[in-house]
Amino acid sequence: MEESREQVETRPITVYEIMCDPAFAAGVNDVRNGRPFNYDYSSGDRWGYERGRQWACLAPTRMPLKIRGKPNLKALTLCCLAFDRKYII
């Protein structure tokens, strides 16, 4: 018999908010610096961290995540397209 699991609580969030999360930036930085997945990542949202890693695998390495502290418009567009195409979950 299959064990039932509880779903974590969810809430609506925008791609902009996801990209502003420090966990997202941490995931991007780890991929861009050749670091493996940080299984002990606990200083924030683990979903955000993984999404940042996924985005970094799709984005050109020279594409800045942010410009003047806000998500780069081209990076945001790429992230929206990746979500639409289910490249990022």
Evaluated on CA atoms 13, 17, 22, 27, the torsion sign reads positive
How many other CB atoms are there within 10 angstroms of residue 28's CB atom? 24
- What are 9-45's pLDDT values in tens digits? 778 899 999 999 999 999 999 999 999 998 877 666 7
- What are 44-68's pLDDT values in tens digits? 678 899 999 999 999 999 999 999 9
